[in-house]
Amino acid sequence: MTGTGGDGAVTTRRLADPRHRQSLAFLAIFVPLFALYFATANKDLPYHIDAVTNVYSAWTMGTTGSPILEAHAGLTEPGYRATYGWVVESDRGPVSQYPPGTALLAAILYGLFAPNAVEIELVAENETAAVPIRLPVPSLVPAAIVASAVSAAGVAFLGLLLLDLGASRAHLVVGLGIVGLGTGIWSVAADALWQHGPNVFWLSLGIWLAGRKRWFGSGLAFGALALTRVPVILVGVAIGLHLLARREFRPAARLAAGAMPGVVALLVYNWWLFGTPAVWGGYGSGFAEQALDADPAAYLANIGSALFDSQHGLFVWSPVVAIVASGLPLVWRRAPRWIWAAAAGGLAYLLFQLKANRASGGDGFTYYRYPIEAIASWTPLLFLAGVALWKTGPVARLAIILTAIFSVGAHAAGAV
């Protein structure tokens, strides 16, 4: 549609600008998801010890500008670590064992709007015999805002990617409904200040930018994953290897250059705190040693548990993922190769994670959490497979509908 400007020139209405349409599409996905996620997010105790460790770091960074958790030093003592939080000693004092990226996202909100904390006597939910401890606990509302916002934004970027792939409006609504409401993105990532929400955000942004061949920006997003959960960067590595295999050396170099600042920032941070520029930082080398341990039977059992365990199994609580995945042979030739590469990177991340840690990822949350990032990386490929499967006939449609209803209902129950 056109209109006439004051000087008589014909101007194009702003809605015709592709970037403006993208913004509207992003907001149309983000706003309702954020509202739902925030409404159901955990804003009070009890709070999972993994997520609350990020809260303590975010509050401390926002109010002191430092990651040193002086007010929570007691959590390094025997009987408190792994019971009330994950705080370890460093060369500069007690700090979170986690990389700083998740806490940094919430630090500004804590510094500006929730600088005060209330000292509370905490009782361990995961260990009833543990001695209670008094700790300053800030408001959990800023954490809920950030967890909800980054999770919703991650799904919105996946939506933009699906639009770029030619998704119809109906298919887009169904696909994003399944991803955003029928997986752990809702029941876990958006529920508290886990690393999973920021991971979904950076991962989805990186994949969307890769689809638009904005390689440096894509690399920046993947590099940011080093500051939240290092193994997830394998998705960016897989896309880079795909580019190298196609002899697209300049895009691969730009992708790598974009990722370098995040990786270097993590190494410098760990060097400053622990005296060693190693990627594992506060985790110690235990996870790396476990990943290298040769015990194929235990590894296969852990993979089986991740998929089929009655409490934490991906295919048990999001069975629509398994149904849609059965359509992958239908898109073997049609799906862009880089999308296969992103999905392969997500699978590599999940297989590494299951080698380094138990499939359950602990307790105190509903269903599963380690597959969340893999699901985000699989979404473009699974969407194309689902659409192709849907077109095969009524049996496939019924299977998709029933498993989608169950998946959404299960995670709604978990979130609420």
Note the pLDDT of residue 288.
64
pLDDT, tens only, 202-253: 999 999 999 999 999 999 999 999 999 999 999 999 999 999 999 999 999 9
Q: Reduce the DSSP state of residue 334 to 3 states and report it.
A: coil
Question: How are beta strands 87-90 and 93-96 bridged, if at all?
Answer: antiparallel
Compute the C-alpha angle 360/105/275, nearest 5°: 75
Q: Looking at 18-27, 37-46, 69-78, which range is the least confident one?
A: 18-27
Residue 7 has pLDDT above 60, yes or no: no
Average pLDDT for 337-347: 97
Residue 30 has pLDDT above 70, yes or no: yes
Question: Measuring CA to CA, which residue among 13, 83, 91, 2 is closest to residue 48?
Answer: 83
Domain ranges of the chain: 49-143, 147-415
Given pLDDT bands bounded at 50, 70 and 90, which one contains residue 292? Answer: low
Looking at the chain, the whole-number percentage of residues with pLDDT higher than 90 is 86
Looking at the chain, the whole-number percentage of residues with pLDDT higher than 70 is 94
Contact at 8 Å (CB) between 135 and 60?
no
Instruction: Give CA 358 to chain center in angstroms.
Output: 18
Note the pLDDT of residue 289.
67
Question: Measuring CA to CA, which residue among 404, 367, 369, 398 is closest to residue 176?
Answer: 404
Average pLDDT for 400-415: 97
Mean pLDDT highest for which of 20-29, 127-136, 145-154, 164-173? Answer: 145-154
Q: What is the mean pLDDT of the chain?
A: 93
Structure tokens at 295: 């015990």
Note the pLDDT of residue 239.
98
Question: How are beta strands 133-138 and 117-122 bridged, if at all?
Answer: antiparallel
CA dihedral sign of residues 334, 338, 343, 347: positive
Note the pLDDT of residue 286.
65
Note the pLDDT of residue 2.
39
Note the pLDDT of residue 71.
96
Residue 108 has pLDDT above 50, yes or no: yes
Note the pLDDT of residue 404.
98
Distances (CA, A) of 104 to 99, 229, 337, 395: 10, 13, 34, 47
Residue 13 has pLDDT above 50, yes or no: no
Tell me which of 7 and 401 has the higher pLDDT: 401
Q: Looking at 101-115, 120-134, 251-265, which range is the least confident one?
A: 120-134
Note the pLDDT of residue 347.
98
Residue 189 has pLDDT above 50, yes or no: yes
Q: Looking at 69-73, 106-110, 123-127, 341-345, which range is the least confident one?
A: 123-127
Tell me which of 283 and 201 has the higher pLDDT: 201
Residue 8 has pLDDT above 50, yes or no: no
Residue 5 has pLDDT above 50, yes or no: no
Average pLDDT for 247-269: 98
φ, ψ dihedrals at 382, nearest 5°: -65, -30
Instruction: Give CA 182 to chain center in angstroms.
Output: 15
Note the pLDDT of residue 131.
92
Tell me the HSE value of 288 on the side-chain side, using a 13 A CA sphere. Answer: 9
Note the pLDDT of residue 79.
87
Structure tokens at 70: 């002086």
Structure tokens at 212: 């638009």
Given pLDDT bands bounded at 50, 70 and 90, which one contains residue 392? Answer: very high
Contacts of 117 (CB under 8 A, 6+ apart): 59, 71, 136, 137, 138, 139
Note the pLDDT of residue 14.
45
Other beta carbons less than 10 A from residue 240's beta carbon: 25
Average pLDDT for 253-278: 96
Contact at 8 Å (CB) between 355 and 290?
yes
Q: How far apart are CA 81 and CA 57, in angstroms?
A: 15
